Amino acid sequence: MGRVPEELFTRRLLAPSILSADFAELGAEIDRVLDSGVRLLHVDVMDGHFVPNITLGPPSVAAVSERIHARGAYIDAHLMISDPDRYVEDFARVGVDALSVHVEVCPHLHRTLSRIRELGLAAGVAINPATDLSALGEALLFCDYVLVMSVNPGFGGQSFIPESLDKVRRLSELAPPKVAIEVDGGVSAANIVRLAEAGVRWFVAGSSVFSGGHPRREAERLQDLLGETPVRP
Ligand code: DX5
Ligand code: ZN
């Protein structure tokens, strides 16, 4: 689990995705959302190959990581790239604390996850909406969290795929209790409580936090909803 304290794996955490922040004032946007008390920030890395979009890479993470860590928060990077093995070291170097790779592009997942852990990071496996949970296989024994995509990866602001709720329920029966379930895509006040009840611990939210222009207020609202939901053992 590395740099991410163990207690954060057993708590419900909102992880605002900076993909939907105003990039012209990224530092200030991060400060605003951290003012709500969030402990995890989600960073979406896209290569224009595994997904149609291109976002940011290690230099951009380096530019904001000190600011995030100084406020007691952690960086959760989600690699939507075709060759994640090539970049694991680079992301570790710039201060990422939790790193997820897609099961669809990693033929040697045990090796990839072990390397992420060796570097002191929490190791996550991300899974696309149309990929069956059976694809995770033995990787559930070698990872710290599973990121369930509830939209097709590539863009913020898409609608939540309703079948993801049942996928999370099935995964929470399947995964060892210490493996945290993260959900990513279309998360909002309309579905966050049901997702928590289904077993999600980490909730990525991009447009629902940033798009209305009041990231602190929206992050507080979503965290309040999570606080009112009993934790599933
Ligand atoms: C999508 C990314 C998400 C994205 C979520 O490919 O993985 O993390 O930022 O954005 P929303 O919450 O707007 O669906
Ligand atoms: Zn993501």
18-49: pLDDT as tens digits: 999 999 999 999 999 999 999 999 999 999 99
**pLDDT beyond 60 at 1:** no
Nearest CA to ligand 1 atom 7: 153
Query: pLDDT at position 231, please?
Result: 62
Residue 221: give the domain boundaries. 6-226
Residue 76 lies in a domain: yes
Which residues face 184 on adjacent strands?
Answer: 149, 204
For the chain, percent of residues with pLDDT exceeding 70: 97
Residue 86 lies in a domain: yes
Query: pLDDT at position 230, please?
Result: 67
Residue 231 lies in a domain: no
Nearest CA to ligand 1 atom 6: 153
The set of protein residues with a Cβ atom below 6 angstroms from ligand 1 is 17, 19-20, 42, 44, 78, 151, 153-158, 184-187, 204-208
Residue 232 lies in a domain: no
Residue 233 lies in a domain: no
Mean pLDDT, rounded, for 203-210: 98
Residue 34 lies in a domain: yes
51-62: pLDDT as tens digits: 999 999 999 999
**pLDDT beyond 60 at 206:** yes
Number of domains in the chain: 1
Residue 192 lies in a domain: yes
Mean pLDDT, rounded, for 143-153: 98
Mean pLDDT, rounded, for 83-90: 98
Residue 1 lies in a domain: no
